[in-house]
Structure 1
Amino acid sequence: MASNTSTWQNLGKAKLDSINNSIPSKWRLSSIPSIEEQRDVTSSFIHSCGLSKQEIDITETDAVGIVEKTTNGKWTAEEVTVAFCHRASLAHQLTNCLHEAFFDAAIEDAKRLDKYYAENKAPIGPLHGLPVSLKDQFHVKGVETTMGYIGWIGTFMGKKGTGQEKVFESEMVKELRALGAVLYCKTSVPHTLMAGETVNNIIGYTTNPKNRNLTCGGSSGGEGALIGLKGSPVGFGTDIGGSIRIPAAFNGLYGIRPSSGRLPYEGMANSMDGQNSVLSVVGPLATSARSLRLVIKALLSQQPWLHDPLVHEIPWREDQEKEALDLMKNSKLTFGIYKNDGIVTPHPPVQRALDIAVKTLEKMGHKVIEWKPPSHKRGIDIIAKIWMFDGGVDLHSSLGLAGEPMAEQVQALYGSAPIEPLNATKIAEVNIAKREYQKEYMEYWNSTKDQTGTGRPIDAILMPLAPFAAARPTKYKYLGYSAIVNTLDYTSCIVPVTNIDKNVDVVDKNFKPFGEQDKDIAADYDPEIYEGAHVAVQLVGRRLQEEKVLAMAEQLGNEIARSR
């Protein structure tokens, strides 16, 4: 428990001051408009905040376009890094999206890359000069990792005197550096990581830059807000119930949840470490699908299976990507459409986004059939039990280090105190139920072969990511549409579709709820409040089908964008 002279409030304020003071004075805004004054701080608004024309050109180029220029000498790593540091500074002031800003170190790294390029006339790697942001679970030398916990300030994951504070680096951080990436900031999370909104007792609440009435999502929410404001071209988050896909969807981005064991997680901070029944996975968010492919391919080229014992030895499979692209372009795919799980009804704009995606696929010549899988409620109940294996002991213990309160959004799941952890027998029962559910779902997928006309089962599922385009503060009350993917360990990619139009996405006066939860969530939708928010869908493939899912998501997203 914190002493009277160092209360959690004082510690939190000191940390917040250090974060805000890491923003160079030349990039600080003289005033921040209220939400009423400026709901949408993207595009034209952020352009008016002191960015130069070159900085706008650089920061509005996607990751692939950036490395094309940094690897041919058209842009230096230093000028690209400075541009993103500037825009990230603005993004933080507008949304509270950063936990750490280490711009000076990043600029020095960029200068070393430029020196290497000048001497060797070649890039150091495929990500040469690419700024990459990181969720505050990654350990980076010289930088603190708090994960939103006040009790972790000045420690190594809550422990003092380990000798690892600001020295240890996560495996993926080492690999990104080897590939030529420039690391420059770490982004905000909800303490505990177990929430669809981003809030903690250090930075407060991280808002959605497209509509600051709404959440940016969670738990990789800072990544979503930062990339949504183009303060980063690509960043990495983690996902144990939707935490990559939720911020991607809410901020109009592409984001992929790979299956467990595809990308390295070794050496990262985490909640409930050692719970291996449903593993948290790491994956990228970006402004384009091709940017996701760029960084995944680059990381796999580092052979992460040699340094992370849980990573499968699966290099990037060009043949699978090519096959998926050929089928996508030749109108020979079949998709299952899952519009409603029978528990919570998607809000009107989410329903419209699904309709747009279905019509786009059909226009492209693909077949869409109704998806009628085993009960999603069973799968959701399984993962909910897994999240509670330790009774919340780990989360409450970390909060107890400084005596800080648990955010309302987390308390809804974990209560005000720990409960009795499950014993080994009960955990085994849940693991058996999970395996049996995965097997039943797998066989249902296989059975669709008789409906497709292609000689194979459906290629992917199209479904909501959440019942809302983005939740209002404290109102992210249902994780079922995202968490079911984690139970199954499927690959899933977010595809941006449209924006809410209050004149089109009106309240359904004929709505009949499935129950009180459905009624409650439907009542949270107000077209006036939600106006302009991003709306997305998720495309779900089978386990370890990252190449195929990305190829399909990119083609679908491109066609939707062309049709707008």
Structure 2
Amino acid sequence: MAWEARAREKLDAINSSIPQNWRLNSPVPSAEEQRDLTGPYICQYLSSEEVEITECHAVYIVKNISCGRWRAEDVARAFCHRAALAHQMVSCLHEIFFDTAIKDAIALDEYFAKTGHPVGPLHGLPVSLKDQFHVKGVDTTMGYVGWIGTFQGKKDTAKHKTYESEMVRELRALGAVLYCKTSVPQTLMSAETMNNIIGYTWNPKNRNLSSGGSSGGEGALISLKGSPIGFGTDYSGSIRMPSAFNGLYGIRPSSGRLPYQGLANSMDGQNTVLSVVGPMSHSPASLRLMIKAILSQKPWLYDPLVVELPWRSDQEGETLRYIAGRTTETKLAFGIMRCDGIVQSHPPIMRALDIVTKVLTAAGHELVDWNPPSHQRAIDIVQACWVYDGGEDVHGSFELSGEPMSDKISWIFGSERREEMKASAIAKNNVAKRAFQKEYMDYWNSTRQRTRSGRPVDAFILPAGAATATRPGARTYAGYTTALSALDYSIVTLPVTTVDKKIDISEGFQPISDHDANVHSGYEPEIYHGGHVGLQLVARRFQEEKVLVIAEYLTDLISAQHSASQSAEA
């Protein structure tokens, strides 16, 4: 069968999985007519009960089910319905297994009725998964036509639709309800999500823009509240960019904190810079709930790469004491990085940095300029890893069907295989990474000389990208996330504001390079208007507890400042 026919057959199967009474009767209006599909637009297709359920954060969903106020079945049906609508609006799903999810939810309700207590800390919580997770009964295509009906491109009947990733097992044991898998770009190596099966996944808040990549389907689905929380993966920004583009909180943990065992991947076995798995949601509290729950399953007993590091409440408490000033030292200290010296961010992102700087200063925290070792060196290290195998893995997957690469992918891997890197060259890149990590560590430690407390900064803040979101045809730059992957830090992306075409205008822009000028030329306030603006909050390695506490605190500061501004305007 030609690749076009196979792709069409798969798309038809995905769409036919949507119940007839959940299908839209008419096409979604164009982006010109209806730019924003979130909030009131999607809610018009839901009952008041479904809206109440799906507008809740994950923490409250679990609380309401665990106290008996809501049934897991009703929650599952509500999110399945909203996810079905989301897919019809922005093409964000690769696999739909609503019937299985509802059966699982009914079983949870029966258990609760019989025992009077939940199965686990995620009892009845719907969780969506990026299409790298293997789940029994459904395909994992990862956007490749050649993977349809196979196990990662191989006709392995023993594993196809029977094998499950380690985290899937743990989520089930915790009481989570799994119901869909979300769209990804071919190869996972793109800041836009598109493939030859489901097409392009648009940004629901502003359909002139991309939902990001490679966890773009997760970003779009959660943005439309078709999922309260889901899992993406991040190699060079694949959780962080979709989270920032879609107004979400997403965490890139340090490698080895959460289990990656049994996930599909591109270039599997490349170990210089590891892809990591992490949750994306609407609040830091939801991310904390999920990570604590996963760690309670002791994943280090089942994934050889996971570090034995349970959740550390003492790290949370220590951070809270500094925030409140209940120590003998000063409050927290933050580094602020406005530009990486390669590409300057668009005006809305610079305004977001101004907002964060203002609220932290007003709260009595200390800010220092962050001028670390060259991020270009880190970008070069990460990008070298992409072609260790000369494109063998990627080209082999495309050759299974004969489907074409998108331009974004062929830019990286070329039209044909290249010479594989020698072991000595890979070793040299590993040494370069280690040297860069040490130099960056020394720089971070040196900031104690610039703080009043004599302590190094607690975290630093920088853009999540040069643009608030990628868009088709415009030059992009992912260096702000890519460089940090070489450092393996604990990073949370958090939303700060939205683009305002009246405020976020380019005045006095002076490019620092031709690349900077090209990226800036893609910024048009009218096109970006209304889109989300997010930043990265960075802590040291394995400081997930600390960075989530700070993210929640910073969110409260931003929210209070926003409320005060609205009151002043009124």
| Deviation, structure 1 residue 328 | 1.9
| Deviation, structure 1 residue 562 | 2.1
Alignment of 1:321-340 (within 5 A): 321-330=316-325, 332-340=331-339
> Which residue of the other structure, out of 240, 264, 278, is the alignment partner of 1:283?
278
Note if contact 1:197-1:476 (Cα within 8 Å) is conserved in structure 2.
no
Within the alignment, does 1:515 sit opposite 2:513 as a pair? Answer: yes
Within the alignment, does 1:487 sit opposite 2:486 as a pair? Answer: yes
Letter aligned with residue 434 of structure 2? R
> Which residue of the other structure, out of 515, 523, 540, is the alignment partner of 2:538?
540
In the aligned structure 2, how far is the partner of 1:454 from the partner of 1:23? Answer: 58
> Which residue of the other structure, out of 282, 299, 303, is the alignment partner of 2:298?
303
| Deviation, structure 1 residue 35 | 1.1
Letter aligned with residue 481 of structure 1? Y
Partner of 1:206: 201
In the aligned structure 2, how far is the partner of 1:191 from the partner of 1:290? Answer: 32
Partner of 2:116: 121
Note if contact 1:344-1:467 (Cα within 8 Å) is conserved in structure 2.
yes
Within the alignment, does 1:243 sit opposite 2:238 as a pair? Answer: yes
Task: Name the SS of the counterpart of 1:522 in structure 2.
Answer: helix
Q: Residue deviations 1:284-308, cap 9 Å, x none?
A: 0001110000000000000000000
Note if contact 1:194-1:219 (Cα within 8 Å) is conserved in structure 2.
yes
> Which residue of the other structure, out of 532, 553, 559, is the alignment partner of 1:555?
553
In the aligned structure 1, how far is the partner of 2:412 from the partner of 2:97? Answer: 34
Note if contact 1:92-1:226 (Cα within 8 Å) is conserved in structure 2.
yes
In structure 1, the gaps of 5 or more residues are 1-5
Within the alignment, does 1:531 sit opposite 2:529 as a pair? Answer: yes
In the aligned structure 2, how far is the partner of 1:165 from the partner of 1:210? Answer: 36
Q: Residue deviations 1:108-166, cap 9 Å, x none?
A: 00000000000000000000000000000000000110000000000000001341110
Within the alignment, does 1:15 sit opposite 2:13 as a pair? Answer: no
| Deviation, structure 1 residue 459 | 0.5
In the aligned structure 2, how far is the partner of 1:474 from the partner of 1:527? Answer: 16
Note if contact 1:88-1:232 (Cα within 8 Å) is conserved in structure 2.
yes
TM-score (norm 1): 0.98
| Deviation, structure 1 residue 473 | 1.4
Letter aligned with residue 536 of structure 2? Q
| Deviation, structure 1 residue 329 | 2.8
In the aligned structure 2, how far is the partner of 1:118 from the partner of 1:538? Answer: 43
In the aligned structure 2, how far is the partner of 1:227 from the partner of 1:326? Answer: 32
| Deviation, structure 1 residue 413 | 1.6
Q: Residue deviations 1:74-107, cap 9 Å, x none?
A: 0000000000000000100111000001000000
> Which residue of the other structure, out of 192, 200, 208, is the alignment partner of 1:197?
192
Q: Residue deviations 1:338-375, cap 9 Å, x none?
A: 00011111000010011111111111110110011011
In the aligned structure 2, how far is the partner of 1:397 from the partner of 1:361? Answer: 50
Q: Residue deviations 1:500-526, cap 9 Å, x none?
A: 000000122x21111111111100000
How many equivalent pairs are there?
Answer: 557
Q: Residue deviations 1:48-91, cap 9 Å, x none?
A: 1x200010000000000000001111000000000000000010
Task: Name the SS of the counterpart of 1:396 in structure 2.
Answer: helix
Letter aligned with residue 155 of structure 2? K
Letter aligned with residue 524 of structure 2? D
In the aligned structure 2, how far is the partner of 1:380 from the partner of 1:323? Answer: 33
Task: Name the SS of the counterpart of 2:288 in structure 1.
Answer: helix
| Deviation, structure 1 residue 476 | 5.6
Task: Name the SS of the counterpart of 1:308 in structure 2.
Answer: coil
Partner of 2:398: 399
Partner of 1:437: 436
Note if contact 1:374-1:440 (Cα within 8 Å) is conserved in structure 2.
yes
In the aligned structure 2, how far is the partner of 1:151 from the partner of 1:485? Answer: 32
Within the alignment, does 1:82 sit opposite 2:77 as a pair? Answer: yes
Note if contact 2:475-2:518 (Cα within 8 Å) is conserved in structure 1.
no
Change (3 A) 1:261 1:474: farther
Note if contact 1:408-1:474 (Cα within 8 Å) is conserved in structure 2.
no
Partner of 2:471: 472
Alignment of 1:294-373 (within 5 A): 294-330=289-325, 332-373=331-372
Partner of 2:170: 175
Note if contact 2:10-2:197 (Cα within 8 Å) is conserved in structure 1.
yes
In the aligned structure 1, how far is the partner of 2:482 from the partner of 2:458? Answer: 20
In the aligned structure 1, how far is the partner of 2:388 from the partner of 2:319? Answer: 39
Letter aligned with residue 360 of structure 1? V
In structure 2, the gaps of 5 or more residues are 563-570
In the aligned structure 1, how far is the partner of 2:156 from the partner of 2:169? Answer: 23
Note if contact 1:485-1:491 (Cα within 8 Å) is conserved in structure 2.
no
Alignment of 1:24-103 (within 5 A): 24-31=19-26, 32-48=28-44, 50-103=45-98
Note if contact 1:261-1:311 (Cα within 8 Å) is conserved in structure 2.
yes
> Which residue of the other structure, out of 113, 134, 141, is the alignment partner of 2:136?
141
Task: Name the SS of the counterpart of 2:187 in structure 1.
Answer: coil
| Deviation, structure 1 residue 474 | 4.1
Letter aligned with residue 466 of structure 2? P
Within the alignment, does 1:496 sit opposite 2:495 as a pair? Answer: yes
Which shows bigger deviation, 445-454 or 235-244? 445-454
Note if contact 2:475-2:522 (Cα within 8 Å) is conserved in structure 1.
no
In the aligned structure 1, how far is the partner of 2:474 from the partner of 2:458? Answer: 34
Partner of 1:3: none
Q: Residue deviations 1:406-443, cap 9 Å, x none?
A: 11111222222221110100000000011001000000
In the aligned structure 2, how far is the partner of 1:550 from the partner of 1:313? Answer: 20
In the aligned structure 2, how far is the partner of 1:55 from the partner of 1:28? Answer: 16
Task: Name the SS of the counterpart of 1:448 in structure 2.
Answer: helix
Note if contact 1:196-1:476 (Cα within 8 Å) is conserved in structure 2.
no
Q: Residue deviations 1:471-510, cap 9 Å, x none?
A: 11143631110011110111110110000000000122x2
Letter aligned with residue 43 of structure 2? H
Note if contact 1:77-1:114 (Cα within 8 Å) is conserved in structure 2.
yes
